[in-house]
Amino acid sequence: MKKFILTFLFAPVMLSLFTGCSEQETEKKEIIRPVKLLTVANEGLFNSKTFPAKTKETKESTLAFRVGGPLVKLNAEVGQRIKKGQLIAQIDDRDFLVDLEAKKAKFIQARAEEQRFKGLLKKESIPQNEYDQKLAAFLVAKANYDDAQNALKDTKVYAPFNAVVSGKLVENYQEVRAKQGIVSLLDFSDTEVKFNIPESFVRFIDKVEEYKVTINAYPGKQFKASLKEVGAHSEDASGFPVYLYIDDAKKYKNTFPIGSGMTCNVEMKLKSTIDEDDFYLIPIHSIVQSKNENSVMVYDAASHTVKSHKVILGDLKGHDQVQVLSGIQAGDQIVEVGGHLLTEGQKVRVLDFNPTTSEIAKQ
């Protein structure tokens, strides 16, 4: 009788343990998908935006010899300012002078032979093929002579533009090879500024009325800038690169010298763009289509889940954006891409979440 009672009491305990294990296995199988968010913002809320930036050189070049040999002169130190046409480095030219004289002699001899046989050909004293051989020899000698002259010139390297020496790659009296870098130069004839903007701000570029740059080293001083270009591809999660020229940079080179890598801020002042129409623009790929309905997945920060919001669409704008007439509002954080893979109430993990750099503007 005691055995029966023990067995009867033990069975519910075992059942409870099996049930608990089953629930734990179910919880482990829950899929938490990573998502990238965009925050809906009202364009009318701002007429300017400020982005962190850095100055950069307009052009960077590494100088090298076209020929090799021992260095006998190196006029470059890091930080040194040099002018266009200034001699930077020279290699020993003795062997090149000897080679030039030898090839010059062969050239003179071949030229004389070609002229003599040309006269004989006119008198019909020799066949055409004999003259052709002398002509070919002359042309080869001339090409070799020209090469020797160029090689002698290539024993010297001159600055191709006004620049600052950013790197010294060899030392004087060192043996250098052809095409081996000797110095690096930075061109600051036009100072550039680079910064990144989120995808949703790319369409505002043509609405920018003015760019102003404030360099941290010169607080209170603003430099006007002009747009150079916008990068065609996003740089990872940092956004699209934008490049500006600082206007009249040369005018400030003595009072406010600007070097490469200086931290600064760029203020983009927009033209008046507030629209009476009440709609938002979002990427087409953020729309989830099902059963003839359109929706977006909206993120709930409190529960880390997503909810489906039905939206009414308007017209297409450009090649990748669409108007949303209703269903979302400013401040909503929507899943940018992959919403069709999510379900109502599903938990998600936010990738690179930064609502200040991922905004969708209201028209």
- How high does pLDDT run on average in the chain? 84
- Residue 258 scores a pLDDT above 50: yes
pLDDT tier at 231, thresholds 50, 70, 90: confident
Per-residue pLDDT, 351: 85
Question: Lowest mean pLDDT: which of 43-47, 125-129, 327-331?
Answer: 43-47
pTM more than 0.75: no
Q: What is the pLDDT of residue 177?
A: 96
Note the pLDDT of residue 57. Answer: 75
Per-residue model confidence as pLDDT tens digits over 288-319 = 998 889 999 999 999 999 999 999 887 777 66
Report DSSP state, residue 36: E
What is the mean predicted confidence (pLDDT) over 16-28? 51
Percentage with pLDDT > 70 across the chain: 83
Residues paired with 53 in a beta bridge: 195, 264
For residue 358, the model assigns a pLDDT of: 44
So what's the pLDDT on residue 3?
A: 44
188-217 per-position pLDDT tens digit: 777 899 999 887 678 778 888 899 999 999
361: nearest Cα among 275, 281, 269? 281
pLDDT tens track for 237-247: 678 899 999 98
Torsional class of 329: left (φ above 0), alpha (ψ -120 to 50), beta (otherwise): beta
Say what the pLDDT of residue 345 is: 93
Instruction: Write a three-state SS string for 92-130.
Output: CCHHHHHHHHHHHHHHHHHHHHHHHHHHHHHCCCCCHHH
- Local confidence band at 42 (pLDDT 50, 70, 90 cut-offs): low
Share of the chain above pLDDT 90, in %: 52
* DSSP structure string for 175-240: EE-TT-EEEEEEE-SS-EEEEEE-GGGGGGGGGEEEEEEEETTSTT-EEEEEEEEE-SS--TTS-E
In this structure, which amino acid lies at residue 330?
A: A
Q: Domains of the chain (ranges plus CATH)?
A: 33-45+276-362 (2.40.420.20), 48-58+188-270 (2.40.30.170), 65-92+155-187 (2.40.50.100), 93-151 (1.10.287.470)
Candidate from 58-67, 94-103, 155-164, 248-257 with smallest mean pLDDT: 248-257
Cβ neighbors of 48 (< 8 A, separation 6 or more) are 267, 268, 269, 270
Q: How far apart are CA 81 and CA 339, in angstroms?
A: 55
Location of structure tokens 């010297």: 156
What pLDDT is stored for residue 211 in this prediction? 95
How does pLDDT run across 88-118, given as a tens digit for each residue?
Answer: 999 999 999 999 999 999 999 999 999 999 9
Instruction: For residue 352, name the pLDDT band (cuts at 50, 70, 90).
Output: low
Phi first, then psi: give them for residue 186, nearest 5 degrees: -115, 130
Does the pLDDT at position 176 exceed 70? yes
| Nearest Cα to Cα of residue 362 among 337, 332, 339, 340 | 332
20 band by pLDDT with thresholds 50, 70 and 90: low
Higher-confidence position of 311 and 357? 311
Mean pLDDT of 27-43: 76
pLDDT band at 347 (very low <50, low <70, confident <90, very high): very high
